[in-house]
Chains A and B, each alone.
Chain A
Amino acid sequence: MSSTGTVGLGILLLFILLMLAFASLGRRWESTFRELPGLDALGNAIERAVESGKRVHLSLGTGSVSGTDSAPALAGLALLKRIAAITSMSDKPVVATTGDGAMALLAQDSLRTAYSDVGAKDRFESISGRMLGPTPYSYVATLPTMLDTEDVSVHLMVGSFGAESGLAADFGDRQHAMVLAGTDDVQSQALLYATAKYPLVGEEVFAVGAYLDVSPLHKASLRAQDVVRYLVVGAILAGALLHTLGIGL
């Protein structure tokens, strides 16, 4: 095994240990999160949508399950289960859309499980998890009609997006919906910062589950990330210092 592989495997094992340790400590050691306006407003927005008979829409992006960009959509699927449970009693339960066929199947499975868990199996409809279009722009071209006909008042975007994210967020804004959007791509984050009312910057898109209390491991993940982040920053600073002093590694 190469030295890079050893370091990589070491970091993964460290992550697993930290996550499990923080998850077991979680009950005794309460988490405190920094304020994120979008996630603070999300609970009330979903509540209003349920009470007023409007729909919550979760976009899982245009990335594929088998691609390297699947992580934010996986975070979105965990969020989908939580929102499905919250909106299960609504006249119009949550709708999830994606640009990938496999992701649409996963969305349907997540919805089926979520409704089954809260004893509302009859709320599940296979068209609640749907593929809108197989390419990024065909996906975004169908969004305005979907947002309008489904009477969406909360438009969430948690997945992998490219430049089409700017239009996807803008269409939600034109629908006067609450738009909360985050992705993994840096350029798309800049677009979302301008177009979405509540943009999620950087790794905030992966923190949604912890804020909405999806599971103890979500909160533990945030703590583990913080520890590893400090270690990585320390290593970068140490490397820069050693390089400046002319000491090679």
Chain B
Amino acid sequence: MKLGAYVIWAAVATATGLFVLLGYFFQLDLLLGLRLLLIQWAVLLAAGALFLGLFNLLSVHWTKVSLQEGGWPYSAVLILMFLVTLVLGLLFGPDYQGVMLLFRYVQLPVESSLLALLAVSLTLAGFRMLSRRRDLASLVFLGAAFLTLLGTAPWPVGADSSLALLVGDMRAWMSQVVAAGGARGILLGVALGAITTGLRVLLASDRPYGD
């Protein structure tokens, strides 16, 4: 029984993947139409999955609140704000002023603050990296980051000096020649890795949809 179900899921996933993939290579009306239809279904399913994900999110935090696990007050606030936003959005629509206020004065500042926090975290991580991995690669990484900062940030004094121009030129050379070349090499490796990962799913060797 279990084997039967696994074979069916694998066959459906492989056939679907093959139709979509072949639609990219062969310009046949039948394949193109089928590819478009399957992608539309995938988008619809992904939207449905978002609702299930939100339900899952609620159930995780509801469990925490009901069992009074560590950090449960945060979960309670999350559930409260989730329900307030959901009710306002359902009753008055996403363009309602109250919903926009929540986005503008709660979500946006919090997300901007996290982005700002990233700058501080990265600076500290740079120092931490020196104590953690004292190798040539780390030193080159930090040296390149420092040079890029120096070459990009405005200089309070001596912005027109020959040193500032030299640093700017070095930064430009590094980002356009060294970094671009390195990034292309990395992207090539990533693309090869992504292809084999996709093919493993297509060959039903990796089955993220379960057995």
A residues with CB within 8 A of B:
1, 5-6, 8-9, 11-12, 15-16, 19, 64-66, 71-72, 74-75, 77-78, 100-102, 104-106, 109-110, 112-113, 116-117, 126-127, 129-135, 137-138, 140-142, 145, 148-149, 163-164, 166-167, 170, 173, 184, 186, 189-191, 193-195, 197, 201-203, 205-207, 209, 215, 217-218, 221-222, 224-225, 228-229, 232
From A65, A116, A117, A206, contact of B197 by CB (8 A): A206
From A113, A127, A137, contact of B211 by CB (8 A): A113
Chain A interface helix/strand/loop/mixed? helix
> Do A16 and B208 touch (CB < 8 A)?
no
Is B205 engaged at the interface, CB distance under 8 Å to the other chain?
yes
Residues of A within 8 A of B200 (CB): 19, 78, 217-218, 221
> Do B53 and A167 touch (CB < 8 A)?
no
Query: Count of B residues near A, CB < 8 Å?
Result: 69
Residue interface bits B1-40, CB-to-A below 8 A is 1, else 0? 0000000000000000000010011110000000000010
Residues of A within 8 A of B165 (CB): none
With contacts A16-B203, A105-B53, A186-B183 known, is A170 near B45, CB below 8 A?
Answer: no
| Residue of A whose beta carbon sits closest to that of B22 | A9
Q: How far is the CB of A25 from chain B (nearest CB, A)?
A: 16
16 A-B pairs in the complex with CB atoms less than 8 angstroms apart: A5-B24, A104-B49, A104-B53, A131-B56, A138-B111, A145-B71, A148-B71, A167-B121, A186-B186, A193-B141, A195-B122, A202-B193, A206-B194, A215-B205, A225-B193, A229-B189
> Do B141 and A166 touch (CB < 8 A)?
no
**Given A16-B203, A202-B185, A203-B192, 12 extra CB contacts under 8 A:** A15-B199, A64-B46, A102-B45, A104-B53, A112-B210, A131-B53, A131-B54, A164-B114, A195-B121, A202-B186, A229-B188, A229-B192
Interface residues of B in 174-211 (CB under 8 A from A): 183, 185-190, 192-201, 203, 205-211
Is B126 engaged at the interface, CB distance under 8 Å to the other chain?
yes
| Residue of B whose beta carbon sits closest to that of A195 | B125
> Do A1 and B26 touch (CB < 8 A)?
yes
B residues with CB within 8 A of A:
21, 24-27, 39, 42-43, 45-46, 49-54, 56-57, 59-60, 63-64, 69-71, 74, 78, 107, 110-111, 114-115, 117-118, 121-122, 124-126, 128-129, 132, 141, 145, 183, 185-190, 192-201, 203, 205-211
Residues of B within 8 A of A15 (CB): 195-196, 199
Q: How far is the CB of B147 from chain A (nearest CB, A)?
A: 14
> Do B208 and A140 touch (CB < 8 A)?
no
Top 4 A-B pairs, shortest CB-CB distance: A101-B53, A206-B193, A109-B210, A102-B49
With contacts A101-B53, A102-B49 known, is A166 near B193, CB below 8 A?
Answer: no
With contacts A101-B54, A102-B49, A205-B193 known, is A186 near B187, CB below 8 A?
Answer: yes
> Do A194 and B206 touch (CB < 8 A)?
no
With contacts A127-B63, A137-B115, A167-B118 known, is A194 near B125, CB below 8 A?
Answer: yes
Residues of B within 8 A of A145 (CB): 71, 74
With contacts A1-B27, A101-B49, A167-B121 known, is A109 near B192, CB below 8 A?
Answer: no
Most interface-central of A75, A101, A127, A229 (chain B CB within 10 A): A101
| Residue of A whose beta carbon sits closest to that of B202 | A16
From B187, B196, B203, B209, contact of A206 by CB (8 A): B196
Most interface-central of A71, A116, A130, A207 (chain B CB within 10 A): A71
| Residue of B whose beta carbon sits closest to that of A183 | B190
Most interface-central of A65, A126, A184, A197 (chain B CB within 10 A): A184
A202 to B185, CA, bound (A): 8
A226 to B197, CA, bound (A): 14
Residues of A within 8 A of B125 (CB): 166, 170, 173, 194-195
